[in-house]
């Protein structure tokens, strides 16, 4: 099992002639006594949005955990063609509503990787937090408690926390779940903007509209790769029926 970070040189080519940000080769992963991902070989393009889609239990969250470095592969190879660790934004329910955190404090946590939780933020740190909040249009919510926010506002705060880490790889687990249509559309547009600005975005989703708006799509079924490529070509009625059909 190998985990490799490439910090210089030209990235390897991804499908359809684009550069790759991540490459998996025969990668397997899971939890104690419970394998989840089985010999995945795939590439994730750089500077693009990639949607992970599949039924519950197909391995989407596990794959994000592997890409984030919080789940270690049991075999195979994971290669990152980037200079900075990835940023992982979990599902909204993974952070309790009762935590006494303001929106600004939540976003400032994104600087802990650089500064540590007990050290004062520098002027540059504060400027980075300000920029992330402005980008997500939550500056006016800075003093609000995280638990007081709507679903869409809360999701924007968590994404702003991720942006404050200044990574070029943003991983999100179900970023539009529970959001109203307007908030879902706004989140999809934001992810596309981030990719255009130099961030590689990978998000797990059950929302077919969100998946179709991505640049690339990975289709998982029972921990195996069922398809990859352009969403318009991949997410056909026949493919989706086959993927969601019980084994």
pLDDT single digits (tens) 99-131: 789 999 999 999 988 777 777 899 999 999 999
- Whole-model pTM: value is 0.86
Q: What is the pLDDT of residue 161?
A: 92
Q: Is residue 96 part of a domain?
A: yes
Note whether 68 and 179 are same-domain residues. yes
Same domain, 143 and 187: no
**Which of 166, 186, 221 is where one domain is finished?**
166
The pLDDT, as a whole number, for residue 3 is: 56
**Residue 5 has what DSSP assignment?**
E
DSSP state of 119: S
The pLDDT of 191-195, averaged and rounded, is 92
Q: In this structure, are 71 and 114 located in the same domain?
A: no
- My answer on whether 42 and 155 are in the same domain is no
Output the CA angle 203-209-213, nearest 5 degrees: 65
**With pLDDT > 70 as the criterion, what percentage of the chain qualifies?**
89
Assigned domain for 247 exists:
no
Helix (H) or strand (E) holding 200: strand 200-204
What distance in Å separates the CA atoms of residue 164 and residue 167, rounded to the nearest whole number? Answer: 8
List the domain range (segments joined by +) for residue 126: 92-166
């Amino acid at each position: 099992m190998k985990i490799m970070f490439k910090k210089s040189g030209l990235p390897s080519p991804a499908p359809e002639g684009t550069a790759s940000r991540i490459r998996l080769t025969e990668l397997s992963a899971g939890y104690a006594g419970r394998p989840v991902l089985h010999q995945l070989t795939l590439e994730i393009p750089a500077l693009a949005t990639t949607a992970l889609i599949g039924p519950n239990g197909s391995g989407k969250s596990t794959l994000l955990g592997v890409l984030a470095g919080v789940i270690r592969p049991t075999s195979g190879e994971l290669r990152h063609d980037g200079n900075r660790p990835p940023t992982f934004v979990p599902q909204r329910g993974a952070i309790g509503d009762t935590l006494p955190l303001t929106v600004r404090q939540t976003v400032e946590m994104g600087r802990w990787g650089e500064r540590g939780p007990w050290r004062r933020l520098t002027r540059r740190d504060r400027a980075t937090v300000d920029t992330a909040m402005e980008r997500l249009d939550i500056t006016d919510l800075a003093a609000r408690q995280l638990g007081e926010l709507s679903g869409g506002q809360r999701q924007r705060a968590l994404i702003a926390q991720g942006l404050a880490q200044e990574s070029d790889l943003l991983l999100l687990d179900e970023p539009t779940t529970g959001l109203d249509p307007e908030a879902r559309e706004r989140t999809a547009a934001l992810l596309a903007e981030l990719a255009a600005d130099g961030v590689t975005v990978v998000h797990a989703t059950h929302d077919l509209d969100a998946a179709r708006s991505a640049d690339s799509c990975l289709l998982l079924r029972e921990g195996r790769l069922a398809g990859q490529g352009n969403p318009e070509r991949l997410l056909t009625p026949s493919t989706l029926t086959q993927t969601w059909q019980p084994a």
